[in-house]
Amino acid sequence: MAEDGYEQIIQRYKQRVAEEFGEAERAEPKVTSREYSDFKKELYPARYTLYEKACNAAGSILKLNVDPKTSAKMIKDIEMCHLNVTPSGVMSLAILLPLAIIIFGSLISFAIFNLFFFVIFFMIAGMLLIPALQRVPNFMANTWKMKASNQMVQSIFYLVTYMRHTSNIERAIEFAADHLEPPLSLDFRKILWDVETQKFSTIRDSANAYLEKWQEDDKDFVESFHLVEASLFEPSEERRLALLDKALDVVLNGTYENMLHYAHNLKSPMTMLHMLGIILPILGLVILPLVVSFLPGAKGPLVTIIYISVLYNISLPVIVYYLGRTILAKRPAGYGAVDISEKSGVKRFANVNIPLGKTFVISVNPLYFSIMIFAVAFLIGISPLLLHAVNPTLEVPFSESIKLLDYVCPPEMTCPPTAAIGPFGLGSAILSIILIAGLGCSIGLFYSLRSKNVIKIRERTKALEDEFSSALFQLGNRLGDGLPAEIAFARVASTMQGTTSGDFFNVAERNITRLGMGLEQSLFDPRVGAVQSFPSKVIESSMKVLIESIKKGPRIAAQALLSMSRYIKEIHRVEERLKDLMGDVIGSMKAQIKFLTPAIAGIVIGITSMISTILTKLSGQLGELAGSTSQDVGGFGDLVNIFGIGMPTYYFQIVVGIYIIQIAYILTILSNGIENGSDKLGERYELGKNLIGSTLLYCFLAAVVMILFNLFAGVIVSNTGIG
């Protein structure tokens, strides 16, 4: 009985201590194995799940023994990005899928086009896919590392912030996992999960096992994490806080140095990418019409358009994208902005909201508007083909006036109107530009409408984050003077009136005074809380630190807020230095996307149209002249057969226009990734601006130059005196 009474007293005091430190509700671990699994399912993209299923299915069909060295490296990549696959399954898929592509792709394409070119193309593509698919886990691991490395500084910031007022590494990791975005939040939850499932006996063992994965890629992060762990064993409070400050300094300085080296090493690969993806392909466009004009046979131009389309719309974009991803994979840790578009309070702003009355609002997915725009432009763009299909004799070939259709036959043969090649008319070429304008603008409009309203909220939140260090400094000073937090909020709101920070504290103070809420509810209420109006993890974590530390007294809370103020200021300072480092490279890439590439391509299309017009009309006039003369005119008949009928600008412009849209898309993703790391919201916003701007500039220049140069072509043909 005495022992039972003793146990009851112990439990009572344990409960009292837990309540005193706000830990009563945390008697059991917050993160469970089921929660980790559910979190992983929500986080993972559908393509990862499909890849896992494909690897497991291929592994059950074809069982391969993988070299131990290759297997060890592959397992490391698989564990990094949490894939549920085996090296054997990855290698099996890398063999079976290319074989299927080679066999079925060759047979189907040959049956449709009756061209041996596609058999060779699919054979080469399949052979190249084998090593590419073997590197998919490495590619996913690099993508995971890039996303996670953008959050390294934030993770140390959250750990240090929590450890300053509560020296508990488990709670600090949990705090960081709650405030970080995927994928690093999943990694931190995995650290806790491995302890809970008894894979490791202590949290330090689990954390050290995780840090081994980053030993080669980010030593500064590993060193900072170890400094945070070392602070647990410091008996002196002063030395413990000094270690925590040192941890954040190490990761900040390491980030700056790594980005400095990355910026210096970026010029050579970017020059190669620019030459291979932009300069050489566009220069090649000038030569291609001349090559096509010497291809005999009725199928020459149209078959060559297929070849050019495979080269420009499939092969080159894949190569440029691969080179771009290789450049991004080497990007060190930095700062990544948070995608707030999926948050419950912000998600509706990703749609087009049409108000009907004062309270009723219709939310429409931007995809519907994009589809409508593209459908209209597509019908206008293919109207020359539809008109010719309905009435093949709608226009007379080789008319002197500008034609809409202008279908012709090669000079060395005759053909019925239904077998004529075209359209060669300037009008049809202009209509093809409308098709490209509709395609680029519809894609750009989707991204623009999807991100325009959300980016405004994030910019407003960023303005608050920029001011928040001084706001926290003032709030910490008020708490240090012994004022209650509720009164301190009102004082800071009055001092910073007219600023974004003042608006934030005004919302919290109004919730306290007018709605009778407590401090925590005024900040985190799901409907009217101040944090809900400013969706920022930095602000949210700052206020949670305030709520946690205020339980230990206003002086402790003041010290925590003053430290956070200094940390936020240091992070902002290093971030600005990084922007200066990357300014030249990013500025050059944006100039290529917005002006240089579409302008050069638009001019080249005009030149191509002129060359095609000259060759086609000259070939037709030579054919008429040869037909009206005797057969024994020397080698004149053979000279006529040398010339083909040129390439229809209609098809050629569509191929080039699609290539411009693809290059603008790839370079936008690359420039945003270099500047901001993994920032999906910023990427969508930039895609919206760049795709619309680049496409319209290209279409405008192509149309103007095409009209002017076709007028020159008419003058040149008339001055030849033939016919």
Note the pLDDT tens digit of each residue in 491-502.
888 888 878 788
Residues 418 and 326 occupy one common structural domain? yes
Last residue in a domain, options 134, 165, 189: 134
Residue 690's pLDDT is 92
Instruction: For the chain, give the percent of residues with pLDDT over 90.
Output: 9
Q: How far apart are CA 705 and CA 701, in angstroms?
A: 6
Does a structural domain hold residue 32?
no
Domain final residue pick, 264, 290, 316 = 264
Least confident span in 54-58, 518-522, 637-641: 637-641
Residue 510 three-state SS: helix
Given this model, what pLDDT does residue 445 score?
92
115: region left, alpha or beta (phi > 0 left; psi from -120 to 50 alpha): beta
Domain assignment present for 140: no
Half-sphere exposure at residue 234, Cβ-oriented, CA atoms within 13 angstroms: 17
Query: Is the full-model pTM beyond 0.95?
Result: no
Which one, of 243, 248, 320, lies nearest residue 277 by Cα?
A: 320
The residue with tokens 């409408």 is 449
Domain that holds residue 528: 459-572
Q: Is residue 336 part of a domain?
A: yes
Please give the average per-residue pLDDT across 256-262, as a whole number. Answer: 77
Residues 509, 466, single domain; the answer is yes
Lowest mean pLDDT among 137-141, 313-317, 611-615: 611-615
141 within domain boundaries:
no
Q: Which residues contact 694 (CB under 8 A, 6 or more apart)?
A: 440, 593, 594, 597, 598, 660, 661, 664
Is 50 exceeded by the pLDDT of residue 26? no
Using one digit for the tens of pLDDT, what is the confidence trace for 472-485? Answer: 888 888 888 888 88
CA separation for the pair 116, 376 (Å, rounded): 36
pLDDT 10s digits, 80-114? 777 888 899 899 999 999 999 899 888 888 787 77
SS3 263: helix
Domain count, the chain: 5
Compute the residue count for the chain: 723
Residue 449 to residue 337: CA distance in whole angstroms: 19
Residue 23's pLDDT is what? 43
Domain identity same for 350 and 429: yes
Q: Are residues 368 and 472 in the same domain?
A: no
Both 445 and 473 in a single domain? no
Q: What is d(CA 255, CA 612) in angstroms, rounded to the nearest whole number? A: 54
Q: Where are the alpha helices (DSSP H) in 114-168?
A: 116-134, 136-149, 152-165
- Give residue 658's pLDDT: 93
- For residue 531, being part of any structural domain is answered with yes
For residues 151-170, give the mean pLDDT.
Answer: 83
Q: What pLDDT, on the 0 to 100 scale, is given for residue 694?
A: 92
Q: Are residues 116 and 218 in the same domain?
A: no
Q: Are residues 293 and 174 in the same domain?
A: no
Mean pLDDT of 684-694: 91
Please enumerate in sequence order all residues whose Cβ is within 8 A of that of 384, keeping only pairs 6 or more positions apart, or say none: 404, 405, 422, 423, 425, 427, 428, 431, 650
* Distance, CA of 275 to CA of 282 (rounded, Å): 10
pLDDT at 33: 47
Say if residue 30's pLDDT is above 50. no
Task: State the pLDDT confidence band at 21, using cuts at 50, 70 and 90.
Answer: very low
Using the 3D structure, point to which of 134, 162, 179 is the last residue of a domain: 134
pLDDT in tens, 323-346: 888 887 777 655 555 555 556 566
Cα–Cα distance between 288 and 647 in angstroms, integer? 9
User: What is the spatial distance between Cα 160 and Cα 144, in angstroms, rounded to a whole number?
Assistant: 24
Is 142 within the bounds of a domain? no
- The average confidence (pLDDT) of the chain is 77
580 and 709 share one domain: yes
Residues 341 and 465 in one domain: no
User: What are the pLDDT digits (tens) for 562-574?
Assistant: 777 777 777 777 7
Which residue is listed with tokens 């041996």? Answer: 116
3-state class of 364 per DSSP? strand
* 543-558 pLDDT tens trace: 877 887 787 777 777 8
Domain-embedded: residue 139? no
Q: Is residue 471 part of a domain?
A: yes
User: Are 405 and 423 contained in the same domain?
Assistant: yes
pLDDT for 372 beyond 90:
yes
State residue 722's pLDDT score: 47
Region 389-418: mean pLDDT is 61
Q: What average pLDDT score do residues 498-513 get? A: 84
Q: Are 431 and 496 contained in the same domain?
A: no
Same domain, 632 and 668: yes
